Chain A
Amino acid sequence: MQITRRRFFRVMGAAGASVAVRPPAGHAWQSKAPPDPFGCLVDLTRCVGCRKCEEACAEVNGLPEPERVNCQCTIFEKDRRPDHDAYTVVNRYYTGKVDEFDKPVPTFAKVQCMHCQDPACVSACIVGALTKDETGAVRYDVTKCIGCRYCMVACPFEIPAYEYFDPITPKVMKCTFCYDRISKQGGVPGCATICPTEAITFGRRSTLLEVANKRLKENPAHYLPHIYGEKEVGGTSWMYLSGVPFEQVNLPALPETPSPKLSETVQHSLFTYLWSPILLFGVLGGLMAWFNKNDNPPDKGGV
């Protein structure tokens, strides 16, 4: 299933590339990813589901205290998603893994915005309220936002949440990558600072990839040989290591092509320098003159 899905994406990508008309300027689509962004590496084999990251995130970002903060019992019974009250949530998954006494072993997984390298949300936003910063953070500027929710439609990770019950000034809500902290020398995101098991490592993305590869090499039996987020949708700033298949912990199988590639290629091919509308205008104007040359101007009196 996974294979066919992957192959399918590749076929679609190829079809897209072949159909897309080259722009007259002749430049192909280029990634706009910052060269050396920060990132976080989440090691799911280390996460114990203490939900301290949820707590720290809420505090750092001025969000309401997480639901049942000190209860590690019933909260995991429902599968939660980040929402307008929480930029990150931890879920528990039973994937069929058992310990030596045949007891099922849970896997805990934290979710938040992945801070994609070529984010679909940024490409989609009608007013550019979302931007990818040099630090790697995908930032949101509420003063530009019109609330069209196209960013939510576009995000492959289903991350941006909306304040649906605010009638006049709702905001798009998502993990900020603690921009105010990481943009300062030595700053670390709230969630990464607090994690007691060091399941979250903060650093340069390139360094994190080295760290991840090292862990995979040193302990191959412990992990699946895949760094989630290294290549998915062109790479993300947040990356994951896991001992169980990523799809089972709600990290979707995604193609390696950045989501905005096709739409931006099509769009720019058609509209760079407005060549196609201008051409069309000219052609239609010519046709109009030709077809109407024997007539009085037909254009009076409201089309």
Chain B
Amino acid sequence: MAHAAQPLKRPLWTPGVLVMLVFMFAGAVAIIARFTGGIGYVTNLTNARPWGIWVGIDVATGVALAAGGFTTAALAHIFGRHYYEPVTRPALLTAVLGYTFVVIGLLVDIGRSWAIWKPMFYWNFNSVLFEVAMCVMIYLTVLYIEFLPIVAEQFKGRVNLPGILSGLNRLVDGFLQTADRILGKVMWVFIILGVVLSCMHQSSLGSLMLVAPTKLHPLWYTPILPLLFLTSAIAVGYPMVVFETTLTTASFKLDSEVKILAPLTKITIFLLGFYMVLKIGDMVMRGTWIYLLDGTYQTNSFLAELLFGVMIPWIMLLFKRVRQSARGVFTAAALIVGGVVLNRVNVFIVGYRSPLTESGYFPAPSEILVTLGLIATLMFIYRVVVTYLPVLQAPKEVSS
């Protein structure tokens, strides 16, 4: 079995981190502008085009890419493939951060941010968005619970808060100790719950557009949209883990995890293949391939999604040579991740046609800054967490 995860204990303030800080700052300025001038002041949104990249990327894509959390948890803990445990912690961390930032993105995007709690009290069971919101909220709590033992592992027995907070040391330590003890026994409930909730809201995210049959381009509007969202989320889970683990190990110069990641790509052939069959089959069944050659930017975007995001990486992974090279696996994974990003952007932005007003939408600079700022913050916190908490596998010579 692999050696235990450890805090990285590397210097935090690298040049890369400083670049992140610049983006975070720019994003913060744009967010302040949004809360002083209104959404209209910082975005290109209109009445014809009410959702832009804050929903399409910050929320929809964020949720999809956090899928590594539940897919690895299912594999390692439910299906008992403990071999994969070294990658569950980073995947879990990505999910925790991803969903946290989905909520922050929503706070910026919705008009009445201070009212975000209202869906807890006013229920509309007909609303797909209501279902998504409930699941995301509960799942976020579950994720924090799943993450708590990692915090406990690092700090229990040595809680040492600075200054006046030191009075709380005993209390916090007691909390961590108890949490750790109890959670160990009931964690299986949360692990399963996490998978169930993920399946629910990943698919419901696809149902969001079903209420607008005349507004979403037929290439994407299909009754099986929820199924497509669910299968693509499951299919992108492991590639996302490959993608980020490769980036992290490279940037921290850790031991490559290719050995663990390689078998994951075999599962991906199956999962992505299933998604591809559904997606192409759906197109054939509904006869929407007639749109494929009409040359509009929407169709081209669909083609790009299907070719570069699904078919090419799938074919790549069929080759043993690709699967055995770190670079090959990474490229395929990156394509799949890009494909899912493009798919979510297509469904929520590119494929959306306002019925009466011809409104081309392209995000305003400050809209983009908010999104980039959020991503930078996410990466920054990831970095802080892996520096101080046992998430990643430390290099062998230190730990073995």
Q: Which residues of A contact B (CB under 8 A)?
A: 8-9, 11-12, 15-16, 19-20, 81, 83, 120, 122-129, 144-150, 152-154, 156-158, 160-170, 250, 252, 254-255, 257, 259-260, 262-264, 266-268, 270-271, 276-277, 280-281, 284-285, 287-288, 291-292, 295, 297-303
Chain B contacts with A in 107-145, Cβ cutoff 8 A: 109-116, 118-119, 122-131, 133
Q: Is the CB of A262 within 8 A of B213?
A: yes
Chain A residue nearest to B146 in the complex (CB): A303
**Beyond known contacts A165-B40, A284-B196: 15 more, CB 8 A cutoff:** A122-B126, A126-B119, A146-B119, A153-B50, A153-B209, A165-B41, A167-B37, A170-B39, A260-B211, A271-B131, A277-B200, A284-B78, A291-B78, A298-B76, A302-B150
**Is the CB–CB distance between B126 and A302 below 8 Å?**
no
Return chain B residues, CB-CB under 8 Å to A303. 73, 77, 88-89, 92, 146-147, 149, 187, 191
Interface size class of B (residues with CB under 8 A): 35 or more
| Residues of the B chain whose Cβ atoms lie less than 8 Å from the Cβ of A170 | 38-39, 111-112
Cβ B207 vs Cβ A267 within 8 A: yes
Q: Tell me if B325 is interfacial: C-beta within 8 Å of chain A.
A: no
- Tell me, in angstroms, the Cα distance from A155 to B2 when the chains sit together: 54
Main secondary structure of the interface of B (DSSP, over half): helix
Determine the distance from Cα of A4 to Cα of B22 in the docked complex, in whole angstroms: 52
Which residue of B is nearest A121, CB measured?
A: B211
Instruction: Tell whether A280 pairs with B37 under 8 Å between CB atoms, given A126-B129, A158-B354, A262-B223.
Output: no
CB neighbours (8 Å) of B92 from chain A are 302-303
Q: B38 contacts A167, CB within 8 Å?
A: yes
Cβ contact of A277, chosen from B113, B123, B196, cutoff 8 A: B196
| Selected A-B contacts with CB under 8 Å, 5 pairs | A125-B127, A157-B356, A288-B192, A299-B191, A301-B150
Asked, given contacts A127-B118, A146-B116, A303-B89, whether A288 binds B212 with beta carbons under 8 Å apart, the answer is: no
For B192, the chain A residues whose CB sits under 8 A away are 281, 284-285, 288
**Chain B: residues with CB nearer than 8 A to chain A?**
34-41, 43, 45-48, 50-51, 73-74, 76-80, 82, 85, 88-89, 92, 109-116, 118-119, 122-131, 133, 146-151, 153, 184-185, 187-188, 191-193, 195-197, 199-200, 203-204, 207-215, 218, 221-224, 226, 285-287, 352, 354-357
Given contacts A150-B129, A277-B196, contact A157 B355 (CB under 8 A): yes
Of B79, B131, B212, B285, the most chain A CB neighbours within 10 A belong to B212
Chain A residues near B130 (CB-CB < 8 A): 126-127
**Complex contacts, A163 vs chain B, CB 8 Å:** 38, 111
Chain A: minimal CB distance from B138 (Å): 11
- Cross-chain contact of B38 among A166, A270, A277, A280 (Cβ < 8 A): A166
| Contact status B212-A154, CB under 8 Å | yes
Which of B85, B88, B127, B285 contacts A126 (CB under 8 A)?
B127
Q: Known: A281-B193, A303-B92. Is A168-B40 also a contact (CB below 8 A)?
A: no
Asked if A147 and B111 sit within 8 Å, CB to CB, the answer is yes
